[in-house]
C-alpha cells in the first residue's frame, strides 16, 4: 500500500464513523482523529489507528447501552473495516484482538 493510500483510507473509514456516530462527544473526537490522520506523516499513523479502534469500541458500547441496534450494527461494520485496515497496513496485530477485555456492565 502506498503511504498516501493509507492516509486516505483511514480518513475515509473515520469519515464513515463520523457519519454513523450519534453521540456529540464522539463526533468531535472522530473529527479530531480524522484531522490528525490527514496531517500525520503516514509512517506514524499507528497510534492514530489504535486511538480510532479504542474510540469505535466506546462508540459501539454507547450504542448498545442506548439500545440503538441500527447504529450498533453500522458501527460494528465500520469497526471490522478499521480493524482489517489496521492489520493489513501493519498498524495492528491480529493477536491484539485476543487481549480485548469485555467492558463491565
Higher-confidence residue of 102 and 53: namely 53
Per residue in 30-82, pLDDT (tens digit) is 999 999 999 988 888 999 999 999 999 999 999 999 999 999 999 999 999 99
Residue 46 buriedness (CB in 10 A; 0-12 / 13-18 / 19+): middle
pTM exceeds cut of 0.75: yes
Taking the domains of the chain in order of start, what are their residue ranges?
Answer: 3-94
End-to-end CA distance of the chain: 40
Output the pLDDT for position 5: 87
**21 in Cβ contact with 63 (< 8 Å):** no
**76 in Cβ contact with 61 (< 8 Å):** no
Output the pLDDT for position 54: 94
Higher-confidence residue of 97 and 17: namely 17
Amino acid at each position: 500500500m502506498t503511504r498516501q493510500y493509507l492516509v486516505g483510507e483511514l480518513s475515509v473509514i473515520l469519515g464513515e464513523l463520523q457519519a454513523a456516530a450519534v453521540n456529540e462527544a464522539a463526533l468531535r473526537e472522530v473529527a479530531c482523529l480524522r484531522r490528525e490522520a490527514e496531517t500525520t506523516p503516514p509512517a506514524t499513523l499507528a497510534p492514530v489507528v489504535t486511538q480510532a479502534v479504542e474510540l469505535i469500541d466506546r462508540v459501539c458500547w454507547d450504542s448498545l447501552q442506548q439500545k440503538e441496534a441500527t447504529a450498533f450494527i453500522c458501527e460494528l461494520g465500520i469497526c471490522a473495516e478499521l480493524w482489517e485496515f489496521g492489520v493489513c497496513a501493519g498498524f495492528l496485530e491480529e493477536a491484539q484482538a485476543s487481549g480485548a477485555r469485555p467492558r463491565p456492565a
